[in-house]
Chains A and B, each alone.
Chain A
Amino acid sequence: MKERINRTVLLVVLAFLVAAPWVLPAIGFDYWLDILAEIIIWSLFAASVNLLFGYVGLLSFGQALFFGMGMFGVAIGIAKLGLGFWPALGFGMTVAIGTAAVAGALAVRLTWHYFAIITVVFSLIFYFLALSAKPLTGGDDGTSFSMPAMLEAGGFELSLTDPTVQYFFILSVAAAAYFLKYLIVKSPFGMALMAVRENDVRASLIGLNVYFLRWITFVIAGGFAGLAGCLFALFGRYASATYMFYHVSGEGVVWTIIGGAGTLFGPAVGTALLIVVREELSNIWEHYPILVGLVVILTVIFAPKGLMGFWNALLDRLAPAPADRASGGGRPNGAVDAAAVPAERRTGP
């Protein structure tokens, strides 16, 4: 029953996402198509935080570094190297993944707050480097560029300057990334990650290479963040070092926690909620971050497992599975939901 409800909700959301370029303008909300595109990009960024935090237990405040690398890779590729759309996208991804591979090799030797601190340090180093390297990055002015065509054949041209094309491009790429993440977390590799998260000593005793698993996840998460950065550069036609600052990483962490760490779609829910709140409140009151902070505090207090955790608990209560009904419990069956794993099971000896 619960799975059926979740599947129905997912289908409704997907239908809305596909129909949005026609539905939103029809009801006079054409501006929200861009906000929706932005939500999709940032939810991909939050998904990268989630992959590390929710599935491997590494809290990174450095994902903005890879976001920025993807962003600058695209912008520099187009504006300075004269690359076309696809080569620039490939260049951005290569830069982001390469940076993640190098940074991860050092960072994943550490865990807990040491790991968080070293990711902040990496982020700061590259932030200041990007600000100083004016000839390459534009310094604090950033780098803007004109959008090259995605596809040119004869007189036909496909470009992101068409809002509908842009939206579907972003949606398709993000959907593919989410599907990849789904495959990862449901695979034996994903189970191994969760084993590392639950108890790295036990995981190593059963033969798992903990260092490698953490490193490869760090690189994959860096790739997701880099992909979000590439998309955001293409969306905004601009790259700026300000996106590499650790505050941006912090936003990703907040979106993930609000939505529900360790769940596939939790970060997307958190991102959507907070961006919509921001969008509405910032037009009314310029000090809106205070209210956003309040929303965050209330969510953490009343829904400590995030909104997805709250939703799952609600479904368990309203429509328990037959086995649970018989036993009187409300635990979900089937798929592993990391957010539903009790804290005592995560921190066992």
Chain B
Amino acid sequence: MTCKNKTGKPEATWLRTELPRRSFLQTALAGGAVASTAYLSLTRDLVAKESGPIVIGHQCELTGGFSSWGYWHDKCAKAAANLINEGGGIGGRKLEVPVADTESTPAAGARKLRSLIQRSKASFVVGSVHSGIMLASIPIATELKTPYFSAGEATEATGSKGTRYSFRTGTDTYALAAAGAPWAFENLGKNWTMIFPDYAWGHSHHQEHRKLIESMGGKVNDPIAVPLGTRDLVPYLAKIPEETEVLFSVFFGALSVAFYTQSKSMKLDERMKMYSVSGTIEAIHPEAINGAAENVFFLENFPRPLEYKNDEYHKKFIEMMDIDPVHAQENGSDRVMAKSHAWQSYENFFVLKKAIEASGWQRNKDTPGVIEALEGLEMENSLAHPQGAKLLRGEDHSGMIDCYMSQVENGVFVVKRRIPRAEMEALLPPRYDFREYEL
């Protein structure tokens, strides 16, 4: 657009220095309108609240090798979502929980995590109990700036591979050693042999336990790492030194059943005390393996029978899961609850609810506030936390919880000692401080 100046030469409008009154008014009004709109937009952004649902994705093992556990993680997540929505949702917003099946493989698990965050628009993810999937997921969740709770036991998740975005309310191999080894050392024996399949889970348990047992003055014999794919364990069981007082085993699934059955048939339980962690007998009824696990000690996160944590919250949780109060077996089916791990897929939704509400989270850009609220979060024994009171430690994002030393007697898990979280914490100094990492 051009106009003519006093010399009659055309002049670009935007070069003119004189502004006619009408144009000035137009400009002022237009500027005022723009400024008002900008102010309104800014104000709305500052005070407005989102009203749509909050999406927390659930990444779990519905199929594949971990599906007997995944069934319970899924059931726990659904129960938590129902309860939260019945109580008004999170900050008044409905909770939506899309579920993604990892197929029990890291490849599918990592892919499904992206799908949850990018396709289902999950702002937070309650993640896998499979350590490999968990470790494959953490870098992705971190890059996509999405808080990720996992339930696997690999210590790296809240250790060397942990980030500001990775959390775990349950125990890892580091915590399990701290919780169980002192009692087992005092009560079961000082000379230990460890046997496990030759992969990461067993090696990690071995390293953590050996440090503690040796620091207490005990002796740890050379470990027996059973090659992968082995079915007949007898040649490896025969290598267990005669002087062994405690046989610590870490097997999973069918191989775990094979271990208990074959060690029982070799009468190892008559020569030494047998000790393990709950993961080796999760979702397995002791009677289903013909008493092979009889007298074995197990470190649990959540006692199977109601009577060892006999409160209204545990009772209500058992009702929600529709399991019997002794064996944790589902009513009307032969499924046994993977209770020592699956509770995390229930409680983690309430953990997130508390942090979201405390931080005033409205949208994804507010996520740093949720992370800060999660760091050091205390949880009371309640219906939201039926496993018990706990702390999500600020430094390493790890759950500090009570554990239970149980022994199988007549097919029932009998708690020998509740191990308060304070005892575990004393042997569990944080190795990392993720709060130093930028958000």
In the complex, the answer to whether A144 meets B114 with C-beta atoms within 8 Å is no
CB-defined contacts of B118 to chain A, threshold 8 Å: 30-31, 34
* Bound Cα distance A283, B140 (Å): 20
In the complex, the answer to whether B132 meets A237 with C-beta atoms within 8 Å is no
Per-residue CB contact flags for chain A residues 15-42 toward chain B (1 = under 8 Å, else 0) read 0000000000000001100100010000
Per-residue CB contact flags for chain A residues 174-196 toward chain B (1 = under 8 Å, else 0) read 00000000000000000000000
CB-defined contacts of A238 to chain B, threshold 8 Å: 106, 110, 135-136, 139
User: Which residues B112-159 have CB closer than 8 A to chain A?
Assistant: 112, 114-115, 118-119, 131-132, 135-136, 138-140, 143, 154, 156
* Residue of A131, A146, A242 touching B106 (CB-CB under 8 A): A242
Q: List 24 A-B contacts (CB under 8 A).
A: A30-B118, A38-B111, A128-B229, A131-B199, A134-B203, A139-B203, A140-B131, A140-B132, A140-B199, A141-B132, A141-B135, A141-B154, A144-B135, A145-B139, A161-B143, A236-B136, A236-B139, A236-B140, A237-B140, A237-B143, A279-B115, A283-B100, A283-B115, A286-B63
CB-defined contacts of B119 to chain A, threshold 8 Å: 31
In the complex, the answer to whether B228 meets A141 with C-beta atoms within 8 Å is no
* Residue of A140, A144, A147 touching B201 (CB-CB under 8 A): A140
* Residue of B101, B132, B140 touching A242 (CB-CB under 8 A): B132
B62 at the interface (CB under 8 A from A): yes
In the complex, the answer to whether A236 meets B132 with C-beta atoms within 8 Å is no
In the complex, the answer to whether B139 meets A144 with C-beta atoms within 8 Å is yes
How many residues on chain A are close to B (CB under 8 Å)? Answer: 29
CB-defined contacts of A279 to chain B, threshold 8 Å: 115
B244 at the interface (CB under 8 A from A): no
5 further contact pairs, Cβ within 8 A, besides A140-B201, A238-B136, A242-B106: A31-B115, A134-B199, A141-B132, A242-B132, A243-B107
Residue of B nearest to A161 (CB): B143
A132 at the interface (CB under 8 A from B): yes
| Least Cβ–Cβ distance between A74 and chain B, in angstroms | 13
In the complex, the answer to whether B136 meets A142 with C-beta atoms within 8 Å is yes
Nearest 8 CB-CB pairs, A to B? A139-B200, A31-B118, A237-B139, A31-B119, A140-B199, A141-B200, A238-B136, A240-B106
CB-defined contacts of B201 to chain A, threshold 8 Å: 140-141
In the complex, the answer to whether A240 meets B107 with C-beta atoms within 8 Å is yes
CB-defined contacts of B108 to chain A, threshold 8 Å: 282
* Bound Cα distance A146, B200 (Å): 21
Give chain A's interface residues, CB within 8 Å of chain B: 30-31, 34, 38, 128, 131-132, 134, 138-142, 144-147, 161, 236-238, 240, 242-243, 279, 282-283, 286-287
CB-defined contacts of B225 to chain A, threshold 8 Å: 132
B231 at the interface (CB under 8 A from A): no
In the complex, the answer to whether B200 meets A134 with C-beta atoms within 8 Å is yes
User: Which residues B356-394 have CB closer than 8 A to chain A?
Assistant: none
In the complex, the answer to whether B156 meets A141 with C-beta atoms within 8 Å is yes
B227 at the interface (CB under 8 A from A): yes
* Bound Cα distance A107, B103 (Å): 32
Tell which of B132, B138, B156, B203 has the most Cβ of chain A within 10 Å. Answer: B132
In the complex, the answer to whether A142 meets B135 with C-beta atoms within 8 Å is yes
B211 at the interface (CB under 8 A from A): no
In the complex, the answer to whether A139 meets B199 with C-beta atoms within 8 Å is yes
In the complex, the answer to whether A146 meets B199 with C-beta atoms within 8 Å is no
* Bound Cα distance A145, B160 (Å): 10
* Residue of A132, A145, A240, A282 touching B132 (CB-CB under 8 A): A240
* Bound Cα distance A33, B10 (Å): 52
Residue of B nearest to A128 (CB): B228
| Least Cβ–Cβ distance between A294 and chain B, in angstroms | 17
B161 at the interface (CB under 8 A from A): yes
